[in-house]
Amino acid sequence: MNQTVTVNISGIVFHIEVDAYENLKKYLNKIKGYFKNAEESEEIMTDIEARIAELFNEKISSDNQVINSKYVEEVITIMGKPEQYIDEDEEPTVEKNYTSQRAYSSDKKLFRDPDDRMIGGVSAGIAAYFGVETLWVRLFFVLSTLIWGFGPLVYLILWVVMPEAKTASDKLQMKGDPVNIDNLSKTFKEEADRVSDHLKNNGKQYGKKAEFAVGAVFNFIGQLLKGVFNVFGKMFGVIFLIAGTFLFVGMLGMLIGSETIFSITTDGIFSFKSSEFFNLIFISEDQFHIAIIGAVITIGLPIILLIYAGANLLFKVKTYPGVSIGLLVLWVIGVFMCAMVGIRMGTELSNYDEIVEVVELDNSISDYYIEANGMEMPGEGILEDRYSSISLDGDSIYMNDVRFYIKKSLSDSIEVKIIKDGNGKSIKNAINNAKMTNYNYELNDSLIVLSNYLSTPKENKIRGQQVKFKLYLPVGKSVYLDRSLKYVIHNVKNVTDTWDPEMLGKRWVMLEEGLTCLDCNDIEGVTTTQLDSIKAFVPQIEKDK
């Protein structure tokens, strides 16, 4: 049983025997001493350690997870010992090891060559991998572009897929040369000499060459975009100018004006009186003003920039660099103001509670007639659209957030639950908002009359007030849904999957399978005998009429 230690080599963790670790440590210390005076010593050591880690990783298998002395000696033989490489005026000390090390060759890998690139180094990397002149590979891409047209696409894909040869080890593997101490040191020396020579002799020419190649690409893109804007620029300018002006005027009217604002949407015409509506949401006048200013800045500046873009495309308006910086700072301030108000409003709605009122109905009645009273909402409307309506009358707020449900009763009794919801900055405040919600309904034998709206004191503001009217119907009981319920009926489940509006004007019976239509042609879950029996029943409400 041999003792092992855990080491990290080039970011990879290995388990290595103690004796093998001591040999590896001595080997690496020798190499450090050999390159201690070289300027690129750290880079050389990094590449050497990376290569050693790669060789060790190849020797690890599922049956053997530990590096032993034999593996270390094999890696040292591949990498070579530093004493094998001496100055040119000295003789090699161990010819046999030198030859053995030189005989080892690593597998070639495909990299992009950054030292011989025109654009991304793809052609040079492919040429190095196949051992051909770079000129022929570049000629292939040119011909494939001119004749077949796929050259740029293939080049871009290879640019993304092929990694760049950044280290000396990568450059040796790109050419298929052995990755050992000798070649690593030579690669670094050649790299330094090449950079020095280019800076001294060819720096200006190389710079012009690179500048010309990159400049040609960007010049082509610039000319292409310029041509597009010459064709469509004026049209875009008109669109931006009209759209920006329309949005800006609408924003000012919505946020600052006191008149009713109209907006035509796919759902119809939406309208509301902005100042009255916002006063019912925000806590105070100060918060309202902060929100208005923040919204004007946050929404208005992008709209102004849209107007400016349109004017610039049409009339070439002169720009000033300091203005853009100032507008950016102003926009950040506007976002901060909106965030501050938003956080404060979030706390106002952070808690939820409800008040539940339960009323049991006469169980002897088998059929109920349900309708809405059809009364118009009192007060002056401040928000009206297809689904929502809010009005203000003196000290009361009226809202149409009333929902009517039909549920299957778990017992034989018929009951109604009136649930009043409310939000607030605390549970106590939420309960109070729910308690202060008023809702009117009428229960008269088999007749149930619902109101289309609820009311709450103006001082409570709009805080998620809602009323849910739930009728729990036992099996065998039926209801007739009047068409006046179209504004309050909400997601009533039934066995025929009939939509809420289409349920109106029909009688429905609660069966074991669920609510079933009695006036429809196709009725699921009902036998002919049962159907005849149920249809023969005449509701009391119809007898009275």
Residue 192 DSSP label: H
Query: In degrees rounded to 5, what are phi and psi of residue 170?
Result: -60, -40
Contact 313, 234 (CB under 8 A): yes
Contact between residue 105 and residue 94 where contact means Cβ atoms under 8 Å apart: no
Write the pLDDT tens digit of every residue in 415-448.
999 999 999 999 999 999 999 999 999 999 899 9
59 has a pLDDT exceeding 90? no
CB 487 within 8 Å of CB 376: no
Higher local confidence (pLDDT), 380 or 201: 380
Q: How far apart are CA 532 and CA 538, in angstroms?
A: 12
The Cα 53–Cα 201 span in angstroms is 39
Which tens digit of pLDDT belongs to each residue from 455-510? 999 988 999 899 999 999 999 899 999 999 998 999 999 988 889 999 999 999 99
In 3D space, the residue among 366, 388, 413, 379 whose CA is nearest the CA of residue 538 turns out to be: 366
Write phi, then psi, for 463 (nearest 5 degrees): -135, 50
CA 545 to chain centre: 60
Report how far residue 366's alpha carbon sits from residue 539's, in angstroms, rounded to the nearest whole number: 8
Indicate the average pLDDT of the chain: 76
Q: Of 188-197, 253-262, 438-447, which one has max mean pLDDT?
A: 438-447
Residue 100 and residue 69: Cα distance in Å, rounded?
Answer: 19
Collapsing DSSP states into helix, strand and coil, what is residue 318? coil
Whether the Cβ atoms of residue 460 and residue 433 lie closer than 8 Å to each other: yes
C-alpha dihedral (154, 156, 157, 160), degrees to nearest 10: 150
Determine the average pLDDT of the residues in 19-47.
75
Among the listed ranges 12-16, 44-48, 68-72, which one has the minimum average pLDDT value? 44-48
Distance CA 102, CA 91 (A): 16
pLDDT band per the 50, 70, 90 thresholds, residue 454: very high
Q: What is the pLDDT of residue 267?
A: 46
pLDDT per position as a tens digit, 476-489: 899 999 999 998 99
For the segment 254-279, the average pLDDT, to the nearest whole number, is 52
The pLDDT value recorded for residue 182 is 60
d(CA 477, CA 119): 81
Burial class (CB in 10 A: 0-12, 13-18, 19+), 398: buried
